[in-house]
Structure 1
Amino acid sequence: MKDSLLWGVVIAVFALALFVLERLFPLRRRKRPLAGRLLVNLSFAAVAFVTVALTVRPAADMTLGWASQGGFGLARLPFMSPVIQPLMAFLLMDLTFYWWHRANHRIALLWRFHNVHHIDPDLDVSTAFRFHFGELAFSSAFRVFQIALIGPSLWVCLLYETVFQAGTLFHHSNLCLPLQAERLLVCGIVTPQMHGIHHSQVPQETNSNYAAGFSFWDRLHRTLDLNVPQDAIDIGVAGYAQKKDNHLGAALLLPFRRKRDYWSKSDGSVPSRDGARAQKTRLAS
């Protein structure tokens, strides 16, 4: 219990530090007042905490106990040395999260819920807490499959969870890092600029940069896009860009209502990146 509390405090302090830093060194200009967004996103966080406590965590713990006792999992294959097994488990955890994130964009039912995360009109560390309880409930089923398939040890699972949560806060933040630091970091991990492109209203940009931890999964799957400057990105989902869409009640009910055309603006146009794209960015260079 004390360990869980300490873990929560560390994550909360890290989130608060990012919140302060992104105010001092913003990457993108804000479109909407901060107070209203914070109220909505922190409300989602409260509901998410309860959902995770009731579904995701018990499902993960139960499966982890079963996998540990049975010695089952891809990371526990007999020919793997004890040194390789933890590394393989950690990498497989991150790879399967890449696939899960991609599934949330490709499968219509999952996207209905994941869309709630994407319609936030600004992207900052508070967006990292904005996940619909329905999406988190689905993720409990994914966790069961993931842990049963991989068979990570308890300490590897806890380590990955810590790194994953810290990485999620970091790459959702609106923190502007020096360009050289971004270029260096993005070779290995997901950065604020890389994930900012994923939250663009341009469909082909939203459907890129799915990685949660290591950026090389996007390189391997050819879904990496670094050639978009942050000042050219309009955060959100075009079909749900009205202010009323981001009221708490509307956002909670969104997955259960008749869907709109996600990618079309109110005037019927679809956001796209014009020919000036080649002159933009230089993250990939």
Structure 2
Amino acid sequence: MDQTILDNEPTLRLGVFLGVLSAMALWELAVPRRRQEIPRLLRWSNNLALVALDTAIMRIAFPVLAVGFAALSQERGWGLFNLVEVPGWLAFLAAFLLLDLAIYAQHVVFHKTPVLWRFHRMHHADVDFDTTTGIRFHPIEIVLSMLYKLALVGALGAPPAAVLVFEIVLNATSLFNHGNVTLGRLDPLFRKLIVTPDMHRVHHSVWREEHDTNFGFNFSFWDRLFGTYLAQPAKGHDRMTIGLAHFRERREQWLDRLLWQPFKGEARLRKEKADSEDPASLGD
């Protein structure tokens, strides 16, 4: 079973990624939630180029990724669920939930730690919000995230199947909850369990008090449990400003500028922080 999972991991991941990306793109084209400020060709070409770069770096930097390391841990008997005998279904469910909680915690830490925020803020510097925002992460953040995930997988002894399903679901939900779409009247119902686009869009507000909320990717209850949940943006979804105050020019959306953003000077960081804490700084 586990060997079959490992053998088919690339095909499964790529198939789900392309399927969800295509479905979300069609949904956004058919019924967009907000008017886009920047041409889709400019943003998509650079965001997708960043994904390709991230993928290449990961394959070069790591001899095994999360699913492969889960299989290695299982083979060597490393980690909690390889030391404590529990039913397979319970190990799967517990590992999935604990990994999701850990990713929520990582997201909070990347916001609260200045040096880590430098890398994560590139994700927030997108001045529009659509499905490709959900895969727009700096390569250094991706590498740090994988190191963290490998440590978690090893400590938990997470079943390879649980890790694979978690990785696929995390990727798919990131594409979904960054979509320029809405569930309309169904949104309050769905967000009782999962993170919806209207819930996560608040997290991309230019206002710091709003983008330091709604950190979850899969389940919405972590934010409710830890007091980081915010139901709606102060200005509403149609009038809220997406992005960061300091990176609003179209040139900032090009790949070279995206990669360089974490290395901007401290003076610019202080000004960005001051501007983003004032919702009136960008007008309506």
Same fold by TM (over 0.5)? yes
Structure 1, gaps ≥5 residues long: 274-285
Match of 1:34 among 26, 36, 40: 40
Q: Under a length normalisation based on structure 2, what TM-score does the superposition of the two structures give?
A: 0.87
| Residue identity matched to 1:257 | K
Q: Cα gap change, 1:67/1:10 in structure 2, threshold over 3 Å: closer, same or farther?
A: same
Matches within 5 A, 1:1-285: 2-55=8-61, 58-61=64-67, 63-76=69-82, 78=84, 80-177=86-183, 179-228=184-233, 229-262=236-269, 264=271, 270-272=277-279
CA offset at residue 173 of structure 1? 0.8
| Residue identity matched to 2:161 | W
| Residue identity matched to 1:147 | V
Per-residue CA deviation, residues 71-113 of structure 1 (Å, 9 max, x unaligned), is 3434456374444221111100100000111111111221111
CA offset at residue 242 of structure 1? 2.6
CA offset at residue 259 of structure 1? 4.0
| Residue identity matched to 1:127 | T
The 1-side partners of 2:121 and 2:272 are apart by 15
Identity of aligned residues (%): 30
| Residue identity matched to 2:218 | G
Q: Under a length normalisation based on structure 1, what TM-score does the superposition of the two structures give?
A: 0.87
Q: May I ask how many residue pairs the two structures share in their alignment?
A: 273
Q: Cα gap change, 1:264/1:93 in structure 2, threshold over 3 Å: closer, same or farther?
A: same
CA offset at residue 260 of structure 1? 4.7
Per-residue CA deviation, residues 215-262 of structure 1 (Å, 9 max, x unaligned), is 101111100011222113211011222333222211111112314545
CA offset at residue 34 of structure 1? 1.5
The 2-side partners of 1:171 and 1:153 are apart by 26
CA offset at residue 136 of structure 1? 0.9
Structure 2, gaps ≥5 residues long: 1-6
Q: CA RMSD in A?
A: 2.5
Q: Cα gap change, 1:103/1:196 in structure 2, threshold over 3 Å: closer, same or farther?
A: same
